[in-house]
Each structure stands twice: as structure tokens, then as C-alpha cells.
Amino acid sequence: MAKWLNDTGSEKDVVVSTRIRMARNLEGYRFPHGMSMEESEELTHEILNTMKNFSGNGDYRFIKMNNLSPIDKMAFIEGHVISPGLIQKPDYSSFLLRNDENVTIMINEEDHLRIQSILPGLNFQGGWELCNEIDDFLEENLDFAFHGDFGYLTCCPTNAGTGLRASVMIHIPSIVLTGYANSLVQGLNKIGLAVRGIYGEGSKAVGNLYQVSNQTTLGDKEEIIIEKLNNIIHQIIIKERTARNTLLGTKKDELEDKIFRSLGLLKHSRVMNSKEAMVHLSNLRLGREMGIIEDMEYDDITKLIIQIQPASIQKDIGEDLSKDERDIKRAELLRKRI
Amino acid sequence: MAKWLNDTGSEKDVVVSTRIRMARNLEGYRFPHGMSMEESEELTHEILNTMKNFSGNGDYRFIKMNNLSPIDKMAFIEGHVISPGLIQKPDYSSFLLRNDENVTIMINEEDHLRIQSILPGLNFQGGWELCNEIDDFLEENLDFAFHGDFGYLTCCPTNAGTGLRASVMIHIPSIVLTGYANSLVQGLNKIGLAVRGIYGEGSKAVGNLYQVSNQTTLGDKEEIIIEKLNNIIHQIIIKERTARNTLLGTKKDELEDKIFRSLGLLKHSRVMNSKEAMVHLSNLRLGREMGIIEDMEYDDITKLIIQIQPASIQKDIGEDLSKDERDIKRAELLRKRI
């Protein structure tokens, strides 16, 4: 679970993970929302056949959406391995997952193909290379829908052009605590970046976690899109670190109390819902960021944030649980691991 | 501090402490509120002179109210060694304290003499004997104000007769949690018992701690007053234990969570005010009562409840502290001791 966290990345005191995805479509097929079952099977077959000859890094396993239990589906989403969009039409969709789980090739999400890479910390270069390797290979062997003016054609026009979305999950408790979160979000929106909660579009920011990504996919080259985002993220990193030092200088006792109270509750509670757990895990991470807590790795906290989610808890236990049962098992898991 | 807790007593799962006090006055002196300084000195002198010849148990040290710092005065009150009434006219009042702190002879509180015993758990017999020994000796050697019809005369007529007040501090979280606290208090009032908070008249019930005492001092003999109260306390003990079993049967998960959350906060917080600390210590005691927490003695929890009070904290540290400083030192003390 959340195997992809076993990779490298930098700036982990602010950046939780880096995700890159490319939207691609094949000539000669209708977009997934309008295709027939036969068409979907033919498309899937063509992609799988092509991937058989892929000789790049990693082994891939093929997973059909219909072969997954509801809990398995949700657990893959909670682990950021597939997007919520992929489970909308389960008869049509499937994915290829690299064994280290850093790369997923989603078939029949909103587009025919969504190539995704995910890595811990800040790592645009690594993520870009992971996606690119697949994209280059598939482009050589498949007929991608491409237009001289509009670039890669996509189901939703907002994805046309590069088809690229680069996104970074950041943990910015000090910006939130010093009261600058709203103006930061507004500022990012103004320069064309989307800011979302931990589970993408429509999800709320919980535990001081925000996803920042490019809105525009058309006009700039891929490298430029990523470089622009990278520059902004570096500015946010500086902002967060500055806010952190301000807080350490002015509110150390209060912060220590907040952090250690969360630690105490994580270590002792018997019942805990996921929202509360997120708040305490965010405080724990804040403790690590401030050097107040030292014996916990950033990626282990990220792993816990994934593992305490509703489906992941049930997958771990191996059975369906009611909400009340989950809250008990979640507290148990947290006590064991912290 | 709170040395008196090193004694014996029973039913400690419900009863925190037993206190007995006798109000006595000497013939030939006005009541404290109306006496002159000279009269007060003469009275104090007479009592001290008499006590010099006391050959009963324990050594007594003499403490003048004016020789105590404000923190020392409050710490004695917080430790239940003297009553809040004793510091009202510090030029007049003083006390003799037995070295084990189970007996205090207060001079010029509301009455000339208030003989008090305090013991851990339920122990009317022990407390009664402690007071009686002093009372008998003083009665033989001093001229107590006594009236054939009204018994011992006291400043406030509500204390006349036996001059006896027996009181018990009870911890009844299960009665509170099952919603029966108010009707219990009303019932006790109806049968002539006073129910108060942890620091007596006018203080609120914090941490599920209540003081129950007789209101009437006239009409019954001392033994009857105590026996009646003793019977009632035994009924409350049964009520609390029944409520506890009910809760264990119906809300075990919820209770365990509540108890362990308090434990987690007591063990990890960096800042804690006394009211919050009382709540968590009460939950800790509840955990002990339910067998959920096993490695903590009832009397150690009672000691902590005293030691985290504002003056006791400062006495322990040895310096005046602001409220914010106290909250930090309190959290420190709790982490060290739990």
C-alpha cells in the first residue's frame, strides 16, 4: 500500500508528493463517454497488445475495474494510484500498474489513456521521465489523436494541447496558522493554478494539505508548464519555511502543546474518525517540520494518511467494516504505528 | 504536601476522603468576628498553653496566619489542611498542625476552635477518634461554651449542638455520565445533607467530585449524625458502582476512548489549566475505577488533584508564577508523574 512512497524526492518538509499525468486519445475510437462496449474492448486490446512489447523499466500488471471489489477500487483511489474518474464506468475501464506503483496507465478514464506518475516529495524531473518513457513508446506504436494547432486532442478541451497536468501536494500548516492560506490560494488561482484538497477536484483541504496544479495545458511546451509550476512551488516552500520560523519565534509553547497533544491522542485514542486523524497527523508532520518531533519520517506520515482512509483500513483488515468499526480499527492502527 | 493521604481508608473507588470537624468556643471570650486583638492573643495563648500538656498522639507545630505567604496560605487550603475561612482575618488566626497532617486545630476561624481531621477514603471511625482525642483533652482543660438545651454554642447557630460537621468527598463520574447527578443532589438536599464542590461552600463541582456533609448539628448525638451520613454514603457507593457496571456493559468503547484520550493528553500536553487537568484526572480515576487503568493508586490521583492547584504548583516550584507559567509547569508536573 502506497508503495510509490519508497522513491526519492526533495523538499519533503513542505512537498508531500509530485504527480504528473498525460491525457492521450487514439485515432479511430470515440471518446470513452460515447463509445460502445465492443469499441472499448477493442481499444483496451490494442493498448495491451502494444504494451506487451514495451521493453522499458518496470513490470506492469493489468487490472480490470470490474474485477475489483468496491473496497479495492476505493483503496487504489485513496492511495493516489488511480483517479476517481476511472471508476465511473467500470465496464469500460482498466489500468496497467507498474510494480513499484510509481506509474499507472489508465484506460478509459475521461480519455482513452491517462499516463500517471507519482513520486514522494518534489520531483518533477523524475515524474516527467517516468511518464515520458511510456508516452514515447506508445506514441511510436499507436496512432494518437493530434492536431497541428491544438496538439493532443482530449475529451475535455481544457486538457487539449500538451494533455499535461503536473500537480504537487503540499503541507502548509504554518501558512495556514499565520493566516495567509486564503490569500495564497487566491493568488495561485489568479496566475492560472488550481488549488484543491487531498483527493482532487471538489475535495476539501483537510490536514493542511493542498494540491496545486496547472490549469492550462495549451500554449506552452511541457517543460515550460512544469518549470513555471516548479518556480511557484519553490516560492511557496520559502513562504512556508518563513512562516514556520515566525511561529517558532512567537508561539513555540502553544505549538509544542498542539503537536504533543495530537501525539498523545494518536498514541492513546480508542476511537477516531478519519477527519480527526488527518488533523492530528498534520500536527505530527508540523512537529517534524519544526524539529519538535524527530523520530518520524515524512513519508511514513504520508503512508499513514493514506492507510487511515476508510477503504484502506478495510483492505488492511481484510473485511467490510461499519463506520464505527473503522473508527476503532483506525485508532488501533495509529496506536500501533506511532 | 497532602501528607494526610498516607493513611488508611476504605471504599476508595468512590470515596476520596473523609473529613470531620468540631466547632468549639471558650467561655469568657467574644466570638472571633467581634473580638479585639488583645483578646485574640490571650485566647491563642490559653489554647497553646493547654496544648503544651497534651500527651496524646502526634506532634503539633504552631503556624500563625500572618507568618505565611499568600501562596503558603492557599496551598494549605488546596490541600484541605485548613479551611478558606481561616485566612479571612489573618491577624487573629493561627493553627496547630499534627505532623502527619491528619489533624488541624484552627484558632479563630469563625469559631474559637475548629478541630479537623482528614483521612483518605471512607473512614468516619478513624476521623472521629482523631478529633475526639483532642476534643476530650481540651474540654477537660478549657472552659467550653456549652448550654444544656443548645449544646456547644457556636458563632453561627447552624453549627450549635454537636458543633459537628462530617463530610465526605466522593468521585461519582458514572452517576454523572448516566445522568443521575442532579436528582441525587436534590435527593440529598431533601434529607438534610449539603452537597458542594471540591473546595466547599460556593465552589463548583469539578472533575465529578462532590462533598457531601450534614447540615444539621443539633438534635442528634454525634454518633447518630455520623451513622446517618455513613448509611447514605454507602447507598451512593452502591449507586455509583451500579452505574459503572451499566456503562461498562453499554458504552465500553466510548469510555475507554475517553479515558485513554485523557491519559494521552496528561502524558503529552505542554500547557494545561487546572480545570482541564481536573477533567482528565477525573477520567483517569474513572479508568482506575473501571479496571481499565491499573497502574495508578487512587490516593496518588488525589495527590495530583491537589498538587496541580494554582498555589500548590507555585509552592512546589518555589516561586511566584503567572497564570501562563503555571499552565506550563502544571503540564510538566503531570507528564513527569503519570
Confidence of residue B217 (pLDDT cuts 50, 70, 90): confident
Comparison of pLDDT for B206 and A39, the residue scoring more: A39
Distance (Å, rounded) from C-alpha B12 to C-alpha B56?
28
Identity of the residue in B254, B261, B328 whose CB atom sits nearest the CB atom of A268: B261
pLDDT of residue B220: 87
Residue B144 has pLDDT above 70, yes or no: yes
CATH assignment of the domain containing A116: 3.30.590.10
Q: What angle do CA B197, B302, B252 make, to 5 degrees?
A: 85
Same domain, B190 and B293: no
Domain residue limits at A320 = 251-337
Residue B168 falls within a domain, yes or no? yes
- The grid coordinates listed for B262 are 485523557
Same domain, A160 and A303: no
pLDDT of residue A278: 95
Chain B residues near residue A269 by CB distance under 8 angstroms? 257, 260-261, 264
pLDDT of residue B200: 63
Find the mean pLDDT for residues A163-174. 96
Lowest mean pLDDT among A289-293, B1-5, B284-288: B1-5
* Most confident of the ranges A16-20, A203-207, B213-217: A16-20
Per the CB < 8 Å rule, is A261 touching B253?
no
Chain A nearest CA to B267, separation (Å)? 7
Residue A246 falls within a domain, yes or no? no
Residue A150 falls within a domain, yes or no? yes
Distance (Å, rounded) from C-alpha A175 to C-alpha A184?
9
Total-model pTM? 0.91
DSSP state of B320: -
Residue pLDDT, tens place only, A106-123: 999 999 999 999 999 999
pLDDT of residue B47: 97
User: Taking a C-beta distance cutoff of 8 angstroms, is the pair A18, A127 a contact?
Assistant: yes
- How much of chain A, in percent, has pLDDT values that exceed 70? 98
pLDDT of residue B273: 96
Same domain, A235 and A291: no
Chain B nearest CA to A265, separation (Å)? 5
Residue A311 falls within a domain, yes or no? yes
Give the nearest chain A residue to B324 (CA atoms).
A253
Same domain, A231 and A265: no
Q: Residue B329: CB partners within 8 Å, gap ≥ 6?
A: B313, B316, B317, B321
Beta-bridge partner residues of A20: A117, A166
Domain stop point among B214, B241, B268 = B241
Q: What angle do CA A83, A86, A44 make, to 5 degrees?
A: 125
Same domain, A57 and A186: yes
Find the mean pLDDT for residues A332-336. 97
Antiparallel, parallel or unpaired: β B60-64 and B15-24? unpaired
Same domain, B231 and B204: yes
pLDDT of residue A158: 87
- How much of chain B, in percent, has pLDDT values that exceed 90? 90
pLDDT of residue B245: 96
Chain A residues near residue B256 by CB distance under 8 angstroms? 270
Domain stop point among A223, A241, A259 = A241
Distances (CA, A) of B278 to B168, B213, B331: 18, 22, 12
Residue A188 has pLDDT above 90, yes or no: yes
Residue A258 falls within a domain, yes or no? yes
pLDDT of residue B201: 60
Residue A246 has pLDDT above 80, yes or no: yes
| Residue located via cell numbers 513508446 | A137
Per the CB < 8 Å rule, is B253 touching A271?
yes
User: Taking a C-beta distance cutoff of 8 angstroms, is the pair B255, B181 a contact?
Assistant: no
Which of B267, B268, B336 should we substitute to test contact with A (largest number of A Cβ atoms within 10 Å)?
A: B268
- How much of chain A, in percent, has pLDDT values that exceed 90? 90
User: Taking a C-beta distance cutoff of 8 angstroms, is the pair A230, A124 a contact?
Assistant: yes
pLDDT of residue A201: 60
Residue pLDDT, tens place only, A49-102: 999 999 999 999 999 999 999 999 999 999 999 999 999 999 999 999 999 999
Q: Residue B125: CB partners within 8 Å, gap ≥ 6?
A: none
Distance (Å, rounded) from C-alpha A137 to C-alpha B79?
80
Chain B residues near residue A257 by CB distance under 8 angstroms? 269-271, 331
Give the nearest chain A residue to B328 (CA atoms).
A253
Chain B nearest CA to A86, separation (Å)? 38
Same domain, B190 and B209: yes
Same domain, B200 and B278: no
Residue A161 has pLDDT above 80, yes or no: yes
Strands (E), B2-93: 15-24, 60-64
Mean pLDDT, all residues of chain A: 94
pLDDT of residue A200: 63
User: What percentage of chain B's residues is helix, strand, coil (to nearest 5)?
Assistant: 50, 20, 30
Residue pLDDT, tens place only, A194-239: 998 876 666 667 899 999 999 888 888 999 999 999 999 999 999 9
pLDDT of residue A321: 96
Per the CB < 8 Å rule, is A269 touching B260?
yes
Per the CB < 8 Å rule, is A260 touching B270?
yes
Give the nearest chain B residue to A255 (CA atoms).
B270
The number of folded domains in chain B is 2
- The grid coordinates listed for A20 are 504528473
User: Taking a C-beta distance cutoff of 8 angstroms, is the pair B277, B284 a contact?
Assistant: no
pLDDT of residue A328: 97
pLDDT of residue B204: 66
The H-assigned helical ranges of A158-221 are 173-177, 181-190
Domain stop point among B241, B265, B298 = B241
pLDDT of residue B216: 83
Residue B246 falls within a domain, yes or no? no
Same domain, B312 and B218: no
Find the mean pLDDT for residues A268-285. 96
pLDDT of residue A204: 67
- The grid coordinates listed for A217 are 495545458
Residue pLDDT, tens place only, B180-196: 999 999 999 999 999 98
DSSP letter string, B84-116: GGGGSSTTT-EEEEETTSSEEEEESSSSSEEEE
Residue B203 has pLDDT above 70, yes or no: no
Residue B181 falls within a domain, yes or no? yes
Chain B nearest CA to A34, separation (Å)? 50
Q: CA torsion sign, A173 to A178 to A182 to A186?
A: negative
pLDDT of residue B168: 97
pLDDT of residue B23: 97
Same domain, A53 and A111: yes
Chain A nearest CA to B203, separation (Å)? 29
Confidence of residue B300 (pLDDT cuts 50, 70, 90): very high
Distance (Å, rounded) from C-alpha B338 to C-alpha B336?
6
Residue A142 has pLDDT above 80, yes or no: yes
Confidence of residue A332 (pLDDT cuts 50, 70, 90): very high
Confidence of residue B121 (pLDDT cuts 50, 70, 90): very high
Same domain, B148 and B288: no
Give the nearest chain A residue to B254 (CA atoms).
A271
pLDDT of residue B2: 84
Q: Residue B86: CB partners within 8 Å, gap ≥ 6?
A: B65, B93, B95, B106, B108, B109, B114
Distance (Å, rounded) from C-alpha A290 to C-alpha A254?
13
Same domain, B38 and B57: yes
Confidence of residue B202 (pLDDT cuts 50, 70, 90): low
User: Taking a C-beta distance cutoff of 8 angstroms, is the pair A255, A292 a contact?
Assistant: yes
Instruction: Compute the count of residue pairs across chains A and B with CB atoms less than 8 Å apart.
Output: 49
Contact residues, chain B to chain A, C-beta under 8 Å = 253-254, 256-257, 260-261, 263-271, 328, 331
pLDDT of residue A202: 62
pLDDT of residue B197: 81
Per the CB < 8 Å rule, is B269 touching A263?
no
| Residue located via cell numbers 452517576 | B175
